[in-house]
Amino acid sequence: MGQSPSTTAAATTTTTNRRRDTAVKELRSFLTDDDDVITTGDISILPDACLASVFQFLTSGDRKTCSLVSKRWLEIEGQSRHRLSLNAQSDLTAAVTSLFVRFDSVTKLSLKCDRRSVSINDDGLVLISEHCRNLTRLKLRACREITDLGMVRVSENLKYLKRFSCGSCGFGVKGMNGLIENCGLLEELSVKRLRGISNVVDVSAESVGPGGGMCLKFVCLKDLYNAQCFGDLLAGSKNLRTLKVFRCSGDWDKVLEMVTESVTGLVEVHLERLQLSDVGLVAVSKCRSLEVLHILKTPDCSNLGLLSVAENCRGLRKVHIDGWKTNRINDEGLVGLSKYCVNIQELVLIGVNCTRVGLEVLGAHCVKLERLALCGSETVGDAEISCIAEKCIALKKLCIKSCPVSDHGMEALAVGCPNLVKVKVKKCRGVTSEGLGSLRASREALTVNLDSTEVESQDAASEGVQDGAIETPTVTNHIEGASNSASRSTSRSTSFKARLGLIAGRSLVCTFRKWSSFGGSSSRSQ
């Protein structure tokens, strides 16, 4: 949350190394001075804590195998497992007690049900919460049988919950309020397609919060008809740092004005496919600590709103703009952004018709710019690429998609951008394999890709960062089926989006997320 992928990867590596070192120390402390290694016959005398540390480095499949070695290993493997993913069908309730007798140390739980199956109900979820009172993370997917009453009862048992995520569930405002009021330590909240919330926007309708949401730092709202009911919660979350709103209907100008009146410490804001204008961007500009801003497919936003944000939020590091080819954001906005926000490291422009005029100012002022993507711009040609090659000295990664660029632009890159390590060109008809081949030949250390067919899902990647990997043990069919049902659901979703032509529009942002893994020594965590 609020970190570049490279920073997150580095933190994960550090944590893994620390755990490995701990396991090694425990092993060494167990050995005597005369021992060089522990033989196979001596493995039984390893302490439980040491064996549990070893299990932490195994894959889920290897852990399953190890649990079959002996009753002791079965017990230790279960007690040392902190993450669990279950197939949340209705018959899971009967297996809850025996399941959590073995896995009694679970702190991160994921419950996923196939959309064609009947999900676990209130009684089953309450029973789980009674066995897992130390949960810090809970994810619910397609649990349509859970009601407001069930969520209230569950939240009363989960006093230590810090992260909650739900999608396509059946409860609504009352259930969310119960969660907010009872889980006082809640820091992260992700809500997607909540079925229990009315699809009629009514200002007199019951709202979520503010309740006890003072600890909330991260809120993500997706595909909600009446997400305005979360306005009071957002306005009451004084410590909110990250706000992401995707494809939610209604007027978001008023909501953002209300929120930023009391919440001015936002560091990261993502706004996509919303009814949003410059009024909303002016409201966002009150957050002077803002570092990451995504404005995607909001056709009513213009240079005026972007300039307000740039002038007031001068610490911006990452900016993504999808102008949707409306030409309301162009060189004027880019020049203002470049002059005020000189610390920009990553800039993605989609459907923005910028020219050499704006790019020259960008290169002159934003000397820390390392990642640049230009997509669907009718005005970005060889002259603009030559300008980038000449001015953007710190640039490391460049992506060009659906722009009138030719091999002459690639020739300019061959002699410019001395720090460039990767170039990706997609759907630029004027660029040939020969032109990129010449670029490769002139700069052997440069990675060059032309029209890659790799497709990634932006939603899956943002939820994966929030939720992390979840190990899946074999105890019952409920557990084994969870990953299968999830993969079927993802496959159907991806196929549907492909038929609508939505994936192509996202591929640039996804590619940019992948590029960040090349090392962000200059990226800093939030």
Domains of the chain plus CATH, in order, are: 48-81 (no CATH), 82-198+207-220 (3.80.10.10)
Q: What is the mean pLDDT of residues 336-348?
A: 98
CA distance 228 to 201: 8
pLDDT band at 55 (very low <50, low <70, confident <90, very high): confident
Pair of tokens at residue 194:
């909540």
Tally the residues of the chain.
526
Best CA proximity match to 10, nearest among 522, 422, 520? 520
pLDDT higher than threshold 90 for residue 506:
no
When computed from its CA atoms, the radius of gyration of the chain, rounded to whole angstroms, is 26
Query: What is the DSSP pairing of strand 218-222 with strand 188-192?
Result: parallel
pLDDT at 526: 37
| Mean pLDDT of the 327-350 span | 97
The pLDDT of residue 428: 95
Residue spans of beta strands (DSSP E) within 7-48: none
> pLDDT-derived band of residue 13, with 50, 70 and 90 as boundaries?
low
| pLDDT score of 37 more than 50 | no
Residues 6+ apart with CB under 8 A from 283: 253, 256, 257, 259, 260
Average pLDDT of 64-82?
Answer: 75
- What local confidence, expressed as pLDDT, does residue 364 receive? 96
Which amino acid, 499? R
- pLDDT tens digit string along 365-417? 999 999 999 999 999 999 999 999 999 999 999 999 999 999 999 999 999 99
Q: Measuring CA to CA, how many Å separate 319 from each of 107, 224, 282, 373, 505?
A: 35, 25, 16, 11, 17
- Taking every pair of C-alpha atoms in the chain, what is the biggest distance, in angstroms? 77
- Enumerate the H helices of 269-406 as residue ranges: 278-284, 303-312, 331-340, 356-365, 382-391
The more confident residue out of 516 and 245 is: 245
Give the residue from 162, 157, 106, 163 showing the smallest Cα distance to 133: 157
Q: Please give the structure tokens belonging to residue 171.
A: 């409860």
- Among the ranges given (59-68, 288-297, 333-342, 358-367), the one the predictor scored with the smallest mean pLDDT: 59-68
Please answer whether residues 309 and 334 qualify as being in contact, where contact means their C-beta atoms are separated by less than 8 angstroms. Answer: no
Q: How far is CA 420 from the centre of its chain?
A: 26
CB 60 within 8 A of CB 471: yes
Helix (DSSP H) and strand (DSSP E) numbers for the chain: 20, 15
Mean pLDDT of the chain: 81
According to the per-residue pLDDT averaged within each range, which of 102-106, 169-173, 225-229 is highest?
169-173
Q: Which residue has the higher pLDDT, 474 or 106?
A: 106
CB atoms within 10 A of CB 64: 18
Measured CA to CA, the distance from residue 360 to residue 381 in angstroms comes to 14
Higher pLDDT, 243 or 511: 243
pLDDT value at residue 22: 55
- Give the residues across from 167 on adjacent strands: 141, 192
Quick one: what percent of the chain has pLDDT higher than 70?
Answer: 75
- 259 touches 234 (CB < 8 A): yes
Which tokens sit at 435? 């032109």
Cβ atoms of 312 and 288 within 8 Å: the answer is yes
- Of 174, 123, 178, 161, the residue nearest 145 (C-alpha): 123
- The string of pLDDT tens digits covering residues 21-34 is 555 454 445 444 44
- Over residues 493-510, mean pLDDT: 43
